[in-house]
A and B are shown apart, each in its own frame.
Chain A
Amino acid sequence: MLMTTGPWVWVAGLLTLAIYSFLYKDNPVYKMAEYIFVGLSAGYWAAFLWWNYAYPNLFEPLAQGNYWNIIPIAMGLMMFTQLSRRTSWMVRFPLTFVLGVSLGLQIVAAVEGDMVPQLAGTFSPFTRGAMFNTYDFWTSVGYIVLLVGVLTTITYFFFSKEHKGILGVSSKIGIYFLMVAFGASFGYTIMARISLLFGRLHFLLSDWMHVLK
């Protein structure tokens, strides 16, 4: 059993142990790894976004003669005006442009890509007869559960009227559906984290230490 001689594997292995040292207590080795992580991440995203978004969308067309792109570049540079109190009001121009386009896109996406398909998926088993054509009992029950679940969950988030009477009963049922969803999400989160932990342990014991074959 010989440990790897690959320098990058050693770097990755030692940094992994540095992060896990936090399980004992906050210490300088962990802090060092944490600051390296923040610095590298910032550098990674700056380079990644530049070469994949800013350069092809703004600077490359400008270099090819599309001078209209001076406008968004100027707006992008205006972001830096907020670093000074005297000029910070200028950040409103790029901010409102970005917000205007983003909100417009989100309204269209919410209606077209989310609300309509979600509602169609909830009601179509009943309107298209799929509910009655299926021979699987649990699928039919599932369609009813789905419809009841969507309606009761929505009523739980309906705050314009006091939750009394039918609304109160419906919102209480909605809470149980929410609990199922939260339980499922929590279960998945635990599994995802444990899976990452296994991945790192496998890396340490296999790629680095060669204990596991």
Chain B
Amino acid sequence: MRLQIPLAIILIMGLFTIVTSFVPAKPIADLNQTFRNWYIGIITFFIFLGTFNLVRVNGERIKTKARDWQYSIILIAALGVMLFAGFFKGRASLDEGSPFMYLYFNVQFPLEATMYSLLAFFVTSASFRAFRARNTQALVLLLAAVLIMLGRVPVGTSIWKGFPDVTEWIMSYPNAAAKRGIRLGIDLGLISMALRMILGIERSYMQ
């Protein structure tokens, strides 16, 4: 029962979703929509589980006074403040001008943007290593990156007016060709793996 029922659920739900996606008739389409709503609702529980686990792990760190346990207090406090701001006024907690949005725009957003902008320094040092034309393939990578950047910044246009057109051509044809090839490969892999899981051949996710 612990194995058969889950295998039956994935088989039924997978086939039902595929088949009913092509059936716009009322009762079937409604049922399909209901299952999609359930699916969206259920996956949100993953983040609730993650949040719960975050509290549990950090609570444990505080209790056992593990290394740097003081930071766990800050984390739980920040989480508590955000949760309180997000729930104390009901649905209106997410309205514009609410404390929740104030915290988002003035604390979380600056932290997030700065965190990502920090990568500019590391990406610069990484590009110094990556942009060495050791062989022809590396030279192609270097040229593509340099041309793309020159075509997208004002200094490139002031050097040569044709850079934006070259950039556009690279993006629309050779770049799009490789991205399409990768995309088609991913799609074929995704379909074969999805069918293996739906048909119960691939079960490693249940361990």
CB under 8 Å from chain B, chain A span 1-24: 8-9, 11-12, 15-16, 19-20, 22-23
Chain B residues positioned under 8 Å from A122 (CB to CB): 177, 180
Among B14, B22, B45, B100, the one with the most A-chain Cβ atoms within 10 Å of its Cβ is B45
Alpha-carbon separation in the docked complex, A121 to B116 (Å): 34
B178 and A92 form a contact (CB under 8 A): no
Q: How far is the CB of B86 from chain A (nearest CB, A)?
A: 3
Mark B108-121 against chain A: 1 for CB-CB distance below 8 A, else 0. Answer: 10111111111111
Chain B 150-199 residues near chain A, CB threshold 8 A:
152-153, 169-185, 187-188, 190-191, 194-195, 197-198
Residues of B within 8 A of A (CB): 2-3, 5-7, 9-18, 21-22, 34-54, 56, 68, 71-72, 74-83, 85-87, 91, 93-94, 100, 102-104, 106-108, 110-121, 123-124, 127, 130, 136-138, 140-149, 152-153, 169-185, 187-188, 190-191, 194-195, 197-198, 205-206
B79 touches A42 (CB 8 A): yes
The answer to whether B13 and A100 have CB atoms under 8 Å apart is yes
Shortest Cβ gap from B181 to chain A (Å): 3
A212–chain B nearest beta-carbon distance, Å: 17
Residue numbers in A under 8 Å from B184 (CB-CB): 115, 118-119, 150, 154
Other-chain residue from B127, B138, B141, B169 in contact with A190 (beta carbon distance below 8 A): B127
- Contact assessment for A39 and B77 in the assembled complex, using a CB-CB cutoff below 8 Å: yes
- B166 CB to closest chain A CB, in angstroms? 10
| Complex alpha-carbon distance, A82 and B147, angstroms | 51
Give the complex CA separation of A22 and B111 in angstroms.
13
Verify if A126 is at the interface (C-beta below 8 Å from B).
Answer: no
CA distance in complex: A125, B11 (Å) = 40
- The answer to whether A181 touches B41 (Cβ under 8 A) is no
| B174:A32 contact, CB within 8 angstroms | no
20 examples of A-B residue contacts, CB within 8 angstroms: A20-B114, A32-B74, A38-B75, A40-B107, A51-B94, A53-B40, A79-B42, A99-B14, A103-B14, A107-B194, A110-B190, A121-B180, A142-B172, A143-B173, A147-B177, A152-B181, A153-B182, A154-B181, A180-B141, A181-B144
Task: Please determine whether A58 and B41 come into contact, CB atoms closer than 8 angstroms.
Answer: yes
Check: A145 CB closer than 8 A to any chain B CB: yes
Is B181 within 8 A of A157, CB to CB?
Answer: yes
